[in-house]
Every structure is written in structure tokens, then in C-alpha cells.
Amino acid sequence: MTRQELIDYCLTFPDAFEDYPFDGETPFLRRRSNRKGFALFINVRGTECVNLKCHPDRAELYRLVYRDVTPGFHMNKAHWNTVRIGGDVPDDELLSMIAHSYELAAPPRRRPR
């Protein structure tokens, strides 16, 4: 999938919006309700990538299974992965990673009193 196709997929989630907090070329997909980001599209040394939030155990597993999944570039290495777009991660798995990242960016649930 292309970068734009992945951005379009991110925008299908309720509450998702595209933000450009760094420059006009680096989209950060966020939840509108809490402004937490879940997908940062970046260029790393000429390679199109996306940074995705990930549960630490799952993050390590992805890094072991896929050559094109590395610790998050300029992010918390335990909670973010960088995935090369068009790399060895199958499209359906990449979409699943994005959905997982979106869920992790959800606002905390209110506890009953």
C-alpha cells in the first residue's frame, strides 16, 4: 500500500484527523477527542515509513518477525515501532498494526465511583 492509501485508511477511524505539527510534509494522525497520535508518517533517510504505537510485548514480536519493523524512530522505543512502507510487512498485517495503534491512543475509560 502507498503512504496515501495508509493515511486514507487511518482517516476511516472515528475521531481520527490529520495534523501537521512539525511541517507541511509530515502527517501525524491523531484522535480528535484527546489529540493523542497513533500514526506518524515520516521519511527516514529517503525511505517512507510510519511510526505506530504498540504494546511492548507485541512490538518486540513484530521486530523479530519482520525485517522492516524497527524500534520507533525518534519515539519511545518500548511503545512505538517504525514500519517501512512497501516493506516485508503484509498489507493486512500493517492495517492491523494501525488499528492496534489507534486503540492504544484511546482516551482512558472513566471508572465508576
What is the mean pLDDT for each group of 10 consecutive residues in the chain (113 residues)?
97 97 94 96 95 96 97 88 97 98 88 54
Identify the pLDDT of residue 74: 86
Residue range(s) defining the domain that contains residue 53: 3-104
Number of structural domains in the chain? 1
Residue 46 lies in a domain: yes
Taking the CA of residue 29 as centre, how many other CA atoms within 13 Å lie in the half-sphere pointing to its CB? 29
Dist. CA 106–CA 29, nearest whole Å: 13
DSSP 112: P
Chain mean position to CA 30: 10
Residue 27 lies in a domain: yes
Which grid cell sits at 43? 521519511
Q: What is the CATH number of the domain that holds 43?
A: 3.90.1150.30
